């Protein structure tokens, strides 16, 4: 009998494969992304120290005033611009992009493009 993998299990397998190759350093931390059906979450992480340097999401109090629905491409672009602004305030310009096993299109691409436009390099 063949057992099918769930979408979540497939994504987590891809994420593990990606994480073998990516690691955040103090000079170039990791921009980690997670998206659910309703919201999108982003963190900038220094893996050597094991700390989160900057984090934001579509649930952030300031962004909720602008974002009506956190699961849209427009919301992802706003969150991408916000994470770039917060990172630049902390002096972070270069990051490694960790897409979290998600395909690079739609919300993920919109977030990455907005972060690049607002000053992050990856």
Pick from 86, 81, 111: nearest CA to 29: 86
**Quick one: CA torsion of 23, 44, 17, 122, rounded to 10 degrees?**
-80
Reply yes or no on whether the pLDDT at 93 is more than 90: yes
Q: How far is CA 77 from the centre of its chain?
A: 11
Beta strands 30-35 and 96-98 are parallel
Q: What is the pLDDT of residues 40-77, one digit of tens each?
A: 999 999 999 999 999 999 999 999 999 999 999 999 99
Could you tell me if 56 and 42 are in contact, meaning their C-beta atoms sit under 8 angstroms apart?
A: yes
Fold of 25-117: Nucleotidyltransferase; domain 5 (3.30.420)
Residue 2 has pLDDT above 90, yes or no: no
| Bridge partners (DSSP) listed for residue 94 | 121
Residue 3 has what pLDDT?
79
pTM of the model: 0.91
Kindly list the domain boundaries of the chain, sorted by start residue. 25-117
């Amino acid at each position: 009998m063949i057992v099918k993998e769930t979408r979540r299990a497939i994504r987590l397998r891809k994420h593990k494969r990606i994480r073998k190759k990516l690691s955040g350093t103090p000079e170039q931390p990791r921009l980690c992304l997670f998206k659910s059906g309703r919201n999108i979450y982003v963190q900038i992480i220094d893996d050597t120290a094991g700390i989160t340097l900057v984090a934001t999401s579509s649930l952030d109090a300031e962004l909720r005033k602008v974002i009506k629905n956190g699961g849209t491409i427009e919301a992802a672009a706003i969150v991408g611009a916000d994470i770039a602004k917060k990172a630049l305030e902390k002096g972070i310009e270069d990051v490694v992009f960790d897409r979290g096993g998600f395909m690079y299109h739609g919300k993920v691409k919109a977030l990455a493009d907005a972060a690049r436009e607002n000053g992050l390099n990856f």
